[in-house]
């Protein structure tokens, strides 16, 4: 299945049906009078988060979604039929943006969440509604209300607990394959990963979801390489795992490159909790390993784990650290949601 995480969609709700002007005229019926029915309401346009989707590829082949108009009212006090609604089924984690690509209309983060994007027009009143003691035979009816037409953007941000960061060929896909059920493409050339991958990681009887995104290079915020377009998929993560290639002779500069791109991206991504690892340590002799580990620790200003995704070295320790951060973040979120205690 092809991956698509940003698309433009055109929507329009249905217009309401017009009210009817009608009078009851039947043989042998002494009193007639107005009997025009109301018009039906136009259909609305909704977006709903559903299970089983992880891409917006369906919206590449259909970008226009128009709800049905309401039916006009009829005589004999018959109300017109309401127009059918349209529901845009999107993956969990989809943000709905206005045409300016900045204003967030809705953020669908749970299965079953639904939001109305365009309300259907109300049906017009028939002439029966205008009957009064002073106007026994009204000859007027309201037209239906017009539908709403707008352009929106759908932007998918994958739901994951932890996110992998690093330069191309830092070993992110190998790490994901070694620790989860995911089977990403692995090769010995840069930009092997072209789209984000998700994997379920298990440690000590617990599970969490990890996301691997294409590697960043210096200048990604300016569009170099694959740019920073996939960083949105790790914005929701509780913790980031930063992998640095241990076989590189410039591990400190490699670390700073990624941090610089996170800061250029903006938002809270640069302040998000990070765990740093020196990867591919199985390819280093003890002396070189000690030198590069010390160099990276100085650049990171904190603890650095020495691991190897290919050889399985040090993975459990890192996974436990990730799990601890995820649980701490969830506990903070629950405490914030509960609010201050009141007797």
Determine whether the annotation assigns residue 193 to a binding site. yes
Determine whether the annotation assigns residue 258 to a binding site. no
Determine whether the annotation assigns residue 279 to a binding site. yes
DSSP string, 66-115: EPPPPPPPBTTTBPPPPPPPEEEEEETTEEEE-TTS-SEEEEE-STT-EE
Determine whether the annotation assigns residue 280 to a binding site. yes
* Residues composing the chain: 343
Determine whether the annotation assigns residue 309 to a binding site. yes
- CB-CB contact of 239 with 275 (8 Å): yes
Cα 209 from chain centre? 16
Determine whether the annotation assigns residue 288 to a binding site. no
Determine whether the annotation assigns residue 167 to a binding site. yes
Determine whether the annotation assigns residue 22 to a binding site. no
Determine whether the annotation assigns residue 170 to a binding site. yes
Would you tell me how many other CB atoms lie within 10 Å of the CB of residue 285?
A: 7
Identify the sign of the CA torsion 277, 283, 286, 290: negative
Determine whether the annotation assigns residue 172 to a binding site. yes
Determine whether the annotation assigns residue 308 to a binding site. yes
Determine whether the annotation assigns residue 190 to a binding site. no
**Residue holding tokens 């190998």?**
174
Determine whether the annotation assigns residue 87 to a binding site. no
Determine whether the annotation assigns residue 181 to a binding site. no
Q: What angle do CA 333, 152, 15 make, to 5 degrees?
A: 120
Cβ-proximal residues to 341 (8 Å cutoff; 6+ apart), any chain: none
CA of 250: how far to CAs of 102, 245, 287, 295, in Å?
A: 37, 9, 16, 9
Determine whether the annotation assigns residue 191 to a binding site. yes
Determine whether the annotation assigns residue 213 to a binding site. yes
CA pair distance 89, 54, nearest whole angstrom: 11
DSSP string, 172-216: HHHHHHHHBS------SSS----S-EEEEEEETTEEEEEEE-PPP
The DSSP secondary-structure symbol of 232 reads G
Q: Detail the residues annotated as belonging to a binding site for Mg(2+).
A: 173, 193
Q: Detail the residues annotated as belonging to a binding site.
A: 166-173, 191-195, 212-215, 279-282, 308-310
Q: Detail the residues annotated as belonging to a binding site for GTP.
A: 166-173, 191-195, 212-215, 279-282, 308-310
């Amino acid at each position: 299945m092809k991956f698509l995480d940003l698309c433009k969609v055109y929507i329009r709700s249905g217009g309401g049906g017009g009210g009817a002007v009608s009078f009851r005229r039947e043989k042998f019926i002494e009193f007639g009078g107005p009997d025009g029915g109301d018009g039906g309401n136009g259909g609305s346009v909704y977006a709903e988060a559903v299970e089983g989707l992880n891409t917006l590829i369906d919206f590449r082949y259909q970008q226009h979604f128009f709800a049905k108009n309401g039916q006009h009212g009829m005589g004999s006090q018959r109300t017109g039929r309401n127009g059918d609604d349209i529901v845009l089924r999107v993956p969990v984690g989809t943000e709905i943006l206005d045409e300016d690509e900045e204003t967030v209309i809705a953020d669908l983060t749970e299965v079953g969440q639904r939001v109305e994007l365009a309300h259907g027009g109300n049906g017009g009143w028939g002439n029966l509604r205008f009957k009064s003691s002073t106007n026994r035979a009204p000859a007027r009816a309201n037209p239906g209300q017009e539908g709403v037409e707008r352009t929106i953007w759908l932007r998918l941000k994958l739901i994951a607990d932890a996110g992998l960061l690093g330069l191309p060929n830092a070993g992110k896909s190998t790490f994901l394959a070694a620790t989860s059920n995911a089977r990403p493409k692995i090769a010995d050339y840069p930009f092997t990963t072209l789209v984000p991958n998700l994997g379920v990681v298990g440690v000590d009887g617990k599970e969490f979801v990890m996301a691997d995104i294409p590697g960043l290079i210096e200048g990604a915020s300016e569009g170099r390489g694959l740019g920073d377009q996939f960083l949105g998929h790790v914005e929701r993560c509780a913790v980031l795992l930063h992998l640095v290639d241990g076989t590189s002779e410039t591990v400190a500069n490699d670390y700073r490159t990624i941090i610089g791109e996170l800061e250029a991206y903006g938002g809270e991504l640069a302040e998000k909790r990070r765990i740093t690892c020196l990867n591919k340590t199985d390819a280093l002799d003890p002396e070189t390993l000690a030198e590069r580990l010390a160099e990276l620790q100085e650049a990171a200003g904190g603890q650095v784990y020495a691991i190897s995704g290919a050889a399985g070295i040090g993975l459990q320790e890192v996974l436990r650290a990730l799990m601890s951060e995820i649980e701490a973040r969830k506990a903070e979120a629950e405490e914030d949601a509960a609010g201050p205690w009141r007797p």
